[in-house]
Amino acid sequence: MTRNRWPCNSVSKRGEYAGEDDFAYTFEREQARLQRLALLLTANAEAARSCVRLAFDECIASSSVFKEWALKWARRMIIRNAASLTLNPDKPLGSRNGGSGTAIAHIPDYPLESILDLPALERLAYVICVLERYSTNDCALLLGRSPREIDRALDRVGSHRGEIEESRQMCTANRTCLERLSKAEEEDEYSFLQSN
């Protein structure tokens, strides 16, 4: 039986790397989903915008991401930035300007509002493990915690599970959770996409 041996440069021949245009297209096409992810992770509108903006800048600077992975990479960068911002608020985050942002106290008719009320670690663990379907080990690596801490955080979320599952089902039925933003605000928020 003959074994196939791939030359070292075969990966670059089989797949194309994502460029600036690919990431700009991904962020433009998926802006509502990416913003919702950042909002769920940070529970803070200004911090969510900062996470999306910084993730966009980091994705543009990436040189070794396959085109097919552009959306997954964008989501991972948002998760990483949101975790850093939420768990280490004193540590500067990339090009983040000062201030802790505007906290979201109440979003009328927001399907996942109950997640925003969870403590930071529990909220991050729930969104990353349950909604984004990362393993406990991957979540622990992203958050800089042990898998045991993540398991405990998910156990603590269990007391809120009923209301969260109800919210999650509502969100699944209505995928446009952030349409509450005005059109002008949304265009202004993402104007950086056209400038790059």
Half-sphere exposure of 77 (CA within 13 A, CB side): 25
Tens-digit pLDDT profile for residues 50-67 = 999 999 999 999 888 999
| pLDDT recorded at residue 132 | 92
| pLDDT recorded at residue 104 | 43
CB neighbours of 19 closer than 8 A, spacing ≥ 6? none
Whole-angstrom CA distances from 18 to 13, 53, 64, 74, 152 are 14, 18, 8, 11, 37
Cα–Cα distance for residue pair 18/71, rounded to 1 Å: 10
Q: Which domains does the chain carry?
A: 17-104+181-196 (no CATH), 111-176 (1.10.10)
Profile the chain (196 residues) by mean pLDDT over runs of 10 residues: 51 74 95 93 93 95 90 96 88 45 43 80 94 94 95 86 62 45 48 56
Tens-digit pLDDT profile for residues 77-103 = 999 999 999 998 776 555 433 333 444
| pLDDT recorded at residue 91 | 65
Q: What are the helix (H) ranges across 62-175?
A: 70-87, 113-116, 120-126, 136-143, 147-157, 161-173
Residue bearing tokens 């910084």? 54
